Structure 1
Amino acid sequence: MMTTTGLMMGLASVATSDTTVNVSPMDLVVTEPIHIATTIGMLLTASLFAGLASELLRLPKVTAYLVAGLLLGTSVFDVIPHQHYQFLEPLTKLAMALVLFYLGTLFPFDQIRRISRRAIPLSIGEMVCTGVFVTIGVYLLGMTPAQSVLLGTLALATSPATTMFVLRETNAEGPVTSLISTLVTLNNLAAVIVFELVWLGIELAMPGGQTQSIAATLMRLVQSLGGAFVLGLVGGLVMSYACEIMHTRRWLVLLVGMASLLLGLSETWQLPYMLVFLVVGVVVVNSSSGTQKITEQFDSIGGLLTVVFFSVHGSELNLRLLWQVGLVGAGYVILRSLGKIVGVWAVASRTEASPEIRTWLGPALLAQAGVAISLSATATSRNPEIAGHVQTIILGTVVVFEIFGPLLTRAAVLHSGEMPIANSIHHTFGTPLSALRNVFTRLAGSAGLLDKKTALSERMRVEQVMRRSVEGIAENADFNEVVHFVEHSHANTFPVVDDDRCVVGLIRFDLLNQAFFDPQSDLLVRAGDLATPPDLLLRPSQPVKDAVNLFRKTSDDCVAVVTDDTPHRLIATVRRSDLTSLLIRDRKAGFGSPE
C-alpha cells in the first residue's frame, strides 16, 4: 500500500521519456482568476466613489460610472477578467431592458398623438441630415460606398440608456425633455429598420448578390420586428393583468420574473429585445391603472442594475481603438454631431418651435452606444470584410459620445429651464473633514449645546428651485382647450395668463372637476371664468423658505413664479416635490428645517 508520503512524492515527480522533472506540490495548484463577486464589488465601489466625485464636479453620474469602469477595464488597469463579461451580460441587458420599458411608459396613446406632429418632422430632418452628412463625409475620407452608407445608418442611433438616465437623474420635464425621449425612440427604431434595408442593398450590390432572395431577406426583417412586437404585446398584457389580480407585495417578484422571461425568450428566438421591452412599456401604460407603481417597483432594483450597466459598459470601452480610427473616426464624430444639430435646427426654424428646442434638442441626442454597437457586430458577423473596419470606428468613437453625450444632454435640459437649478448644486458639502464636522455639529445642536447651521433652503432663492419651462392657459381659452391643457399637465394648479403673460388667475383641478358635469360648459365658459384670484404667487428673488411657508398654507402642488418687476409676467413654477427633495437633503446634511 502506498503511504501518504509516497503518494505526495509520486505526485511531485513528472516522468518524461528521457528525464524526470521534480515539481513542488504547490506548483500543482491552479491559479484561479478573481471571483465574479469580487469583480462586481470593485465595479460598484469604484462607481460609488465616482458618483460622489461627480456631485463635487457637478457632472452627470452616467459619465462618472463610465469613467470608473474605464479605469478598471482594459484601457487602464485591466483588473477585470475577460471571462467575467459573459456572466455580467444578462445583468447589463436586463438593465437596458428596464430603461426601454420606462421609455415605453412615456408614450400613452394620447401623448403620441399630441407630440407626433412636432416630433416626426424634427426626427426626419435630424435623421436625414445625419445620414447624408456622415455617408458623404466618410466616403470623401476614403471609405468604400458600402461602408459609408453603413456608417451613415449606424449614426442615426442614440443611446437610450445614457440619455434616459440623465433625464431621470436631473428630474427634467418640459417640451425639450419630451422631444428628447420621443426622438431617441424614433432614432433607434429607424436605425434597426434602415440597417436591414441597407444591408439588403449591400448584398444585392455584391458580385453574385442577385442570387440572394429579396423576399427571404424582407421576410427575415418582418419576422424579427413582428415577432418582437407580438412578444412585447403579449408580455405587456400579461404584466398588466397580473398586477391587477396580485397584491403589490408580490409585484417585485412578478415583474422581475416577467422581465427575465421576456429577455430570455427574446435572446432564444433572436428577437431585438430592446424593441420587445419598448412595446411592453407602451402596452402597460395604456392598459394598466398602476403604471407609476410598476415603474416604482422596477426602480427598486433598476438603480443598482443601472450602475452595473454603465460601469461594465465603461470597462469595455477601448481607448486604443480611439487612436486607431484616425481621421475617419474624427470625421465621423464631427459629421454625426453636425448632422443632429443642424437637422433639428433646420426643421425647428421653419416651424413654431421654441428657441430652446432649436438650440438644445440636437446636442441632447449625441450619446451613442448599445444599438450602434449591436448593429455593427451584426454586420461584422455577416461580412467581416466590409463591416470589420466599420465596427472598429463605432467602438472607437463610442468613447467620445458616451463621455461627452451625457454632459450635453444635461446642459440641454438645464439651459432649457426644464431642470431645477438646485439639482445642479452640490449638496453633500464635500470634504471628509467638513463631513465629520457636520456630524458633530448636528449632534451638538440636537443636544442643545449650540445652534444648528443655517439650512440650505434658507440661503437659496426661489430662482434656484423653480422650473422655467411652463405654459399658462390663455385667458380666452374655451372649456375644451382648458380640459386639453389639464389632461397633459402633471400639476393640479394652472395659471391663467393674458396676452402679456401676466397672471390673471389660477384654475385648480378640484374646482374645475365640478364643471365637468355641465354639458354646456364647452360652449359658454372661458378660462378666465374658471379662475380664482392669483393670491399665491412667488418671485425669483424671494428666499426658498418663503415658498416652504406658502406650501404649508395650501394643498396646491405647484405655485406660479412671476417677474419681480411690473408687469408681473409668468416665468416659471415651483413644485412641492422639488422643495420636499431639498428639505430632505438639508436634513441628511445635518441642518434644521426652516421655521
Structure 2
Amino acid sequence: MLTMMALDTMTTAGFFLARSLGDMLYVASTPASSQTESMHIATTVGLLLAASLLAGLASEMLRLPKVTAYLIAGLLLGPSVFDVLPHHHHQFLEPLTKLAMALVLFYLGTLFPFDQIRRVRKKAIPLSLGEMFFTALFVTTGIFLLGMSPAQSVLLGTLAIATAPATTMFVLRETNAEGPVTSLTGTLVTLNNLVAVIAFELVWLGIELSTASDVQSQSVGATLMRLVQSLGGAFSLGLVGGLVMSYACEIMHTRRWLVLLVGMSALLLGLSETWSLPYMLVFLVVGVVVVNSSSGTQKITGQLDSIGGLLTVVFFSVHGSELDLALLADVGIIGAGYVVLRSFGKVFGTWLVASQTGASPQVKTWLGPALLAQAGVAISLSATATSRNPDIAGQVQTIVLGTVVVFEIFGPLLTRAAVLRSGEMPIANSIHHTFGTPLSALRNVFTRLAGSAGLLNKKTALSERMRVEQVMRRSVDGIAENADFNEVVHFVEHSHDNTFPVVDDDRCVVGLIRFDLLNQAFFDPTSDHLVRAGDLATPPDLLLHPSQPVRAAVDLFRQTSDDCVAVVTDEPPHRLIATVRRSDLTSLLIRDRKAGLGGGESSS
C-alpha cells in the first residue's frame, strides 16, 4: 500500500511538473509581435541564471549578500532597466518560485522542535509579540493619518508584520552565523509569517463584515466557514503531508529521499493552490510535523539543500525581474511613510521588549534591523486581498509592490550587518573570498604553474596572513565558575560546541569543561547538588589571542581533539572574548587550498 502511495505521489508530482513544462513549451511556440515576446522560455531561464552567476561573483568582490546580487540581476533584466524578458513568462515560472518559497518555509518549520519551543518561548514569544504589535500599531495609525481608509490602514498594518523568510534565512545561512541574534531572527521570522497569514484572514473577515451593506447571519456564517476551511484545511494538509514524509523516509533508502521530498512538496503545493489554501501555512506545518516525528530531520533538510541552491537563485532572480521601480513614484508619500513606520515599528518593538526582559545588548540593538526584509508573503497576501476586493486592496497592493524594492535591496544588507556587528558571524566570512579581479585570477594561474614547476616560491599561506580575530566567533558566553551541575547542563543544551570555557566573575578563563567528562558525571545522582562548574573544569592550557596568526590556531588544534578553543584578550587579565571553531578553520583552509593560495598547507 505504501508503495502504491509513493507511486501515486510521484505520478502526481510528475504530472504537476510536466504540466508546467507543457505550458512553457506552449508559450515558446506562440507567435509574438516582437523578438522579445517570441523568446523561448529556456532563454529566459538561461539569462536569469547567467546574470545571477555574474552578480554572485560581483557580490563577493563588493562584499554584498548574494540575495541582493540576485535581486539586482533580475532587476536589470526586468522592465525597470533593460526589459529583455517577456513579461508573460513570469506566470509560467511561478510554480518554480512557489516551490522554492515552499521549501524555505518547510525548513523554517523544522527549526521548531517542541522541546526547543519550550526553551525559547520565554524569550522569543515576548519579543515577537512586541515587535508585531508595535509594527502593526505604527503602520496602521500612521497610514490612516496619511489619508487612507481605516480598512486599508488595518490591512497594511497586518501585512507589515510579515518578514521575507527566503531572503532572511538565505542571508543567515550564507553568513554561517550562530548566536542569540541569529537564532531569534529565525524564530521570529517563522512566528511573524505564521501570525501574518492567520491575522490576514481574521482582518479580512472584519473588513468584509464592516463594509457589508446588509449583514445577515447567513453571510456571516459563510464568511466564518470560509475562514475555518482555509486555516483548518491548511493545518490538516500540512499535518498529513508531514506525517507521510516522515513515515516514508523511515522505510525508504536515503537515495530515494530527494525524489520523495520534491514530489511530495510539489503535490502539497498543487493541492494548496487547487483548494485555495494558504500554502505558506501548509509548509510551515509540514516542517513542524517532520522535525517532531522524524529521526532524520537533518538528513531530510540536507537532501533539500542539494536543489535548494538552484531554486534559490531562480527565486530571487525571477523575483528581481518582477520589481518595478516606477511603482516607487506611484506610492508617493504613503509608500515612504510605510517604509519608515514599518522599519521603526520592528526596531523599536524589539528594542523595547529586549530592554524590559534583560536581553543582551546585541539582541536589543540588532534583532530589529535583521527583520526588515519583506517580499513573498506580503506580496502573496496583498494579491489575495486584491482578488477578493480590488476597490479596497488595489492601492494596498501597489504600496506593497512599490516598497518591496526598498525592503528587498536594503533588508539583506541590514540582516548581514546585524549578525556581523553582533559578533555572530566570523569576520573571515565577510573579508575572505576565493577569487579576486580577473587580472589577479590570471596571475594566480601562472604563479601556481610556475610554483609547481619549481620556478617560483609559492605564496605565503593564508594562515600566516590572517589573524585569529578574523576567524573567531565573538558571540560567546562562558559557564560561571560557581554554577551548579543543573546550570552546567542547561548551558550545554543551548550550545553547539563540545568544549565549554569556565570563567570567574571577571570573565577570566579558569578552566575548560569537555563533554566527555560531563557525560560521565550524569551517572552520579548527587552531582546536581554537590558539583560545581569549577570541579568539572580542567586547566585552560589551550588558549588563543586575537593578534596571533591563524597558523597558531592550526598548530593548537593539532594538539587537541577539542572542537573549539577559547580566545582571550591579549592584555592581562586575559578575559574571554570569543572562540575559534575547528570547523570554521578547516573550511577556511579548504577555501584557501582551492583558491591556490595556501600551497602545501594542511588543515587541522
> Which category of TM-score, normalised to the shorter sequence, fits these structures?
over 0.9
1:52, distance to aligned residue in structure 2 (A): 0.7
Match of 1:20 in 2: none
DSSP 3-state at the match of 2:215? helix
In the alignment, which residue of structure 2 is the partner of 1:506?
512
**Which is further off, 560-569 or 309-318?**
560-569
Name the structure 1 match of 2:100: 95
- The residue type paired with residue 76 of structure 1 is V
- Specify which of 83, 90, 105 is matched with residue 110 of structure 2: 105
Tell me which residue corresponds to 1:268.
274
* Aligned 8 A contact 2:132 2:161 in 1: yes
Counterpart of 1:210 in 2: which secondary structure?
coil
Instruction: Give the match for residue 125 of structure 1.
Output: 130
3-state SS of paired residue (1:489): coil
Aligned AA (2:102): A
Letter in 2 for 1:37: A
Match of 1:542 among 536, 548, 563: 548
> Letter of the aligned partner of 1:99 in structure 2?
V
Q: Is the 8 A contact 2:468 2:547 kept in 1?
A: yes
Tell me how large the CA RMSD over aligned residues is. 1.7
- Between 1:134-143 and 1:45-54, the stretch displaced more is 134-143
Over residues 185-240 of structure 1, what are the superposed CA-to-partner deviations in whole Å (9 max), with x where a residue is unaligned? Answer: 11111211221222122112214152363333233222222222222222222222
The equivalent of 1:138 in structure 2 is 143
The amino acid across from 1:378 in the alignment is: T
1:329 to 2:335 alignment: yes
Q: Does residue 171 in structure 1 map to residue 213 in structure 2?
A: no
Moved more, 524-533 or 463-472: 524-533
Q: 2:245 aligns with which of 235, 239, 242?
A: 239
Contact 2:434 2:592 (8 Å CA) reproduced: no
Which deviates the most, 283-292 or 124-133? Answer: 283-292
SS of 1:504's equivalent in the other structure is strand
Shift, 1:318, TM fit = 0.7
Q: Which one of the candidate residues 390, 395, 402 is aligned to 1:396? A: 402
- 1:457-536 counterparts in 2 under 5 A? 457-536=463-542
1:588 aligns to 2:594 (yes or no): yes
Indicate the residue corresponding to 1:198 in structure 2.
Answer: 203
Q: Report the Cα distance in structure 1 between the residues aligned to 2:299 and 2:555, rounded to whole angstroms.
A: 30
Amino acid at match of 1:187: N
Q: 1:102 Cα deviation (Å)?
A: 1.3
- The answer on 1:308 being equivalent to 2:293 is no
Deviates most, 390-399 or 453-462: 453-462
Other-structure match for 1:254: 260
> In the alignment, which residue of structure 2 is the partner of 1:440?
446
* 2:134 alignment partner, SS class: helix
Match of 2:66 in 1: 61
**Cα deviation per residue 1:280-314 (whole Å; 9 max; x = unaligned)?**
22222222222222111111100000000000000
Offset, 1:241: 2.1
Structure 1 residues 218 and 590: alpha-carbon distance in aligned structure 2, compared to 1, 3 A threshold: same
SS of residue paired to 2:280: helix
What code does the residue aligned with 2:198 have? I
Q: Secondary structure at the match of 1:507?
A: strand
Quick check: 407-416 or 567-576, which moved more? 567-576
- 1:450 maps to which residue? 456
1:488 positional shift: 2.1
Amino acid at match of 1:348: A
Q: In structure 2, how many angstroms separate the alpha carbons of the residues matched to 1:118 and 1:389?
A: 37
Match of 2:427 in 1: 421
SS of structure 2 residue aligned to 1:449: coil
Closer/same/farther in 2, CA of residues 502 and 214 from structure 1, 3 Å limit: farther
Conservation of the 8 A alpha-carbon contact between 1:63 and 1:403 = yes
Q: Which has the larger radius of gyration?
A: 1
Distance in 1 separating the partners of 2:134 and 2:533: 42
TM-score normalised over the length of structure 2: 0.91
1:410 alignment counterpart: 416
SS at match of 2:512: strand
Conserved 8 A contact 2:593-2:601: no
Greater CA drift, 325-334 or 256-265:
256-265
Q: Partner of 2:88: helix, strand, or coil? A: helix
Change beyond 3 A, Cα 1:519–1:435: same
Other-structure match for 1:147: 152
Q: Is 1:208 the counterpart of 2:213 in the alignment?
A: yes
The offset of 1:456, in angstroms, is 2.0
Per-residue deviation at 1:574?
0.7
Q: Is the 8 A contact 1:58 1:426 kept in 2?
A: no
Report the 3-state secondary structure (helix = DSSP H, G, I; strand = E; otherwise coil) of the residue aligned with 2:534. helix
Cα distance in 2 for partners of 1:340, 1:239 equals 36
Cα distance in structure 1, aligned partners of 2:219 and 2:581: 59
In structure 1, distance between residues paired with 2:222 and 2:529: 57
Within 5 A, what are the aligned runs for 1:364-375? 364-375=370-381
The one-letter code sitting in structure 2 at the alignment partner of 1:568 is: H
Q: 1:150 offset after TM fit, Å?
A: 1.1
% identical aligned pairs = 85
- In 2, the alpha carbon distance for the partners of 1:563 and 1:111 equals 33
Return closer, same or farther for 1:472/1:369 CA change in 2, 3 Å cut-off: same
Q: Tell me how far 1:244 sits from its aligned partner.
A: 2.1
Deviates more, 1:361-370 or 1:261-270: 261-270
* Deviation readout 1:445-467 (Å, 9 max, x if unpaired): 12222111112222111111111
1:396-442 per-position Cα deviation (integer Å, ceiling 9, x unaligned): 01100000000000000000000000000142342111101101111
Match of 1:289?
A: 295
Which of 63, 70, 77 is the matching residue for 2:75?
70
Q: Is the 8 A contact 2:158 2:199 kept in 1?
A: yes
The answer for unaligned runs of 5 or more in structure 2 is: 1-30
Cα distance change, pair 277–593 in 1 and its aligned pair in 2 (3 A): farther
Match of 2:228 in 1: 222
Q: Relative to 1, partners in 2 of residues 1:207 and 1:257: Cα closer, same or farther, differing over 3 Å?
A: closer
Conservation of the 8 A alpha-carbon contact between 1:56 and 1:426: no
**Quick one: which of 387, 411, 419 aligns to 1:381?**
387
Determine if contact 1:203/1:209 at 8 Å carries over to the other structure. no
How many Å separate the matches in 2 of 1:593 and 1:169?
Answer: 28
Q: Which residue does 1:579 correspond to in 2?
A: 585
TM-fit CA distance, 1:499: 1.5
Change in Cα spacing, 1:300 to 1:341, as seen in structure 2 (3 Å) is: same
TM-score if structure 1 supplies the norm length?
A: 0.93
Q: Answer yes or no: is the 8 Å Cα contact 2:197–2:281 preserved in 1.
A: no
User: Is 1:556 the counterpart of 2:571 in the alignment?
Assistant: no
Say if 1:159 and 1:368, in contact at 8 Å, map to a contact too. Answer: yes
**Counterpart Cα distance in 1 of 2:584 and 2:250:** 31
For residue 30 of structure 1, report the CA deviation from its aligned partner. Answer: 10
- Alignment partner of 1:481: what SS? helix
Q: Against the structure 1 CA distance between its residues 145 and 444, is the aligned structure 2 distance closer, same or farther, given a 3 Å change threshold?
A: same
Q: Distance in 2 between matches of 1:217 and 1:193?
A: 14
CA distance, structure 1, for counterparts of residue 532 and residue 236 of structure 2: 45
Output the amino acid matched with 2:246: S
**Residues 29, 153 of structure 1: alpha-carbon distance in 2 compared, 3 angstrom cutoff:** closer
Contact 1:438-1:590 within 8 A present in 2 as well: yes
Q: 1:42 to 1:350 in 2, by over 3 A?
A: same
Kindly indicate whether residue 193 of structure 2 is the aligned counterpart of residue 188 of structure 1. yes
